[in-house]
Amino acid sequence: MPVEAVATPTGTTTMEITVSKFELLRELTATQGVVERKTTIPILSNYLFEAVGDKLFLTATDLDLSLRTSCTAKVKKEGSCTIPARKLHDYVKLLPDADITIKLLENHWVSIRCGRSNTKMVGMARSNFPSLPAFPTAGVVKIPSGVLRQMIAKTTFAIANEESRYTLNGALMVLKPESITMVATDGHRLAHIERSGEKFDGVSGEMKTLVPKKAMDELKTLLDSADVESIDFAKDESTLYFRVDPRLLTSRQLTGQFPNYEAVLPKDNNKSVTVNCEDLSAAIQRVAQFADERSRAVRMKLEKGELKIAASSTETGESEDSIETNYQGDPVTIGFNAAYLLDFLKATGSGQVRLELKDAQSAGQLRPGEGDDYHYRYIVMPMRI
């Protein structure tokens, strides 16, 4: 039975199940990121448990994001209840590795027995739990999970955190019949990754979707722990659906116009140098210790045979590092926020990276040195130094 096809008997005030601690804890852990921590709506701090057939269905939501999942259970009495999510997770973690029996009592209290442990938790009325949309039956697109995981890892750090910049609080995903692109920007830097040669059945023209940052983070967590080749993606007017078997993540769509990112992709950065990713990262980390704490600015000077990285502040002093290169072009000096550079280098991980510059006033571009299946580029606005 798919996760979305949950139909519990209406008005039931019973539920009794037995479930393995291992299976239950695995699903409780998977949903922790979605449970609302600081909420003014108490029911959002609870899980919805629904017992149907031979399954226990768990749902967590913060109204913007919801996750539905399931595990095998011995269902003695079908029904549903709600249980405080964080307390249940913390308690189940401490139980012995044995079967757990969960039973709904009167006044929404829930009994949890495992071995010699016997606990009663205060739940809330199931009717208070918000109803969630069902997975659409049409317009479903399969996306390879490895590709999506890579794209999220390479872009999510560039998403804006400011609430005021609403359309920048997510990444733009563009699906075409034979390619997928993901773009994220906070106005100071932009991460852009594209992969061609994929087949997306059911996509005609261009399918653009703004995916909120929290949904991206949860999706990456699900993909990291799932062993599936592809996920099912669908959307309707207001909701995005990502099915990572057997889990279903739904998210409110971001609305509004994502910036015209193609206009800021540099066209004529004619001064380029290739350096080792780890060497550059280590040099920037050392030098950045002496950067101004507010601006985090480091100065990069590209000259014949050498890339110099320097920073100074009146409080801490000054530092310079240099990397040997085979650069033979005209010298150029430019300032960047060190944290922005380190984010890209961390996402790239290893190998060679290319730094492409034009002049001190124009955006710099970084990309992995060797070509792979992904076309990945990272644009950073310069700083006055």
Asked whether residue 7 is domain-assigned, the answer is no
Say yes or no: 93 and 153 in one domain.
Answer: no
Please tell me the predicted confidence (pLDDT) of residue 4. 44
Say yes or no: 44 and 106 in one domain.
Answer: yes
3-state secondary structure of 356: strand
User: What mean pLDDT, rounded, does the chain reach?
Assistant: 91
Q: What token pair was written down for 111?
A: 């009994």
Q: Are 30 and 246 in contact (CB under 8 A)?
A: no
- State how far the Cα of 161 lies from the Cα of 144, in Å rounded to an integer: 28
Which class for 224: exposed (0-12), middle (13-18), buried (19 or more C-beta within 10 A)? exposed
> What is the count of structural domains for the chain?
3
Which of 261, 287, 309 terminates a domain? The answer is 261
The percentage of the chain sitting over the pLDDT mark of 70, rounded to a whole number, equals 95
Please tell me the predicted confidence (pLDDT) of residue 6. 46
For helices 21-31 and 213-225, give the axis angle rounded to 10 degrees: 150
Q: Is the pTM of this model over 0.95?
A: no
Q: Are 240 and 253 in contact (CB under 8 A)?
A: yes
Which of 69, 93, 128 terminates a domain? The answer is 128
Please tell me the predicted confidence (pLDDT) of residue 197. 87
Please tell me the predicted confidence (pLDDT) of residue 372. 64
pLDDT at 8 > cutoff 50: no
Range of the domain at 156: 141-261
Which of 205, 228, 261 terminates a domain? The answer is 261
Say yes or no: 280 and 246 in one domain.
Answer: no
Asked whether residue 227 is domain-assigned, the answer is yes
Kindly report, residue by residue over 213-223, the tens digit of the pLDDT: 999 999 999 99
| DSSP of 138-168 | SS-EEEEHHHHHHHHHHHGGGS---TTSGGG
Say yes or no: 289 and 341 in one domain.
Answer: yes
Q: Which residues pair with 179 in a beta bridge?
A: 176, 196
Say yes or no: 354 and 368 in one domain.
Answer: yes
Closest listed residue to residue 73, CA positions, set 54, 45, 58, 60:
54
Q: Which of 58-62, 294-298, 372-376 has the lowest mean pLDDT?
A: 372-376
Please tell me the predicted confidence (pLDDT) of residue 165. 64
What contacts 304, CB < 8 A, 6 or more positions away? 327, 328, 329, 331
AA identity, residue 244? V
Say yes or no: 33 and 112 in one domain.
Answer: yes
The CA distances from residue 116 to 22, 64, 95, in Å, are 17, 39, 10
Say yes or no: 270 and 256 in one domain.
Answer: no
Say yes or no: 255 and 275 in one domain.
Answer: no
Asked whether residue 346 is domain-assigned, the answer is yes
Please tell me the predicted confidence (pLDDT) of residue 255. 83
pLDDT at 202 > cutoff 90: no
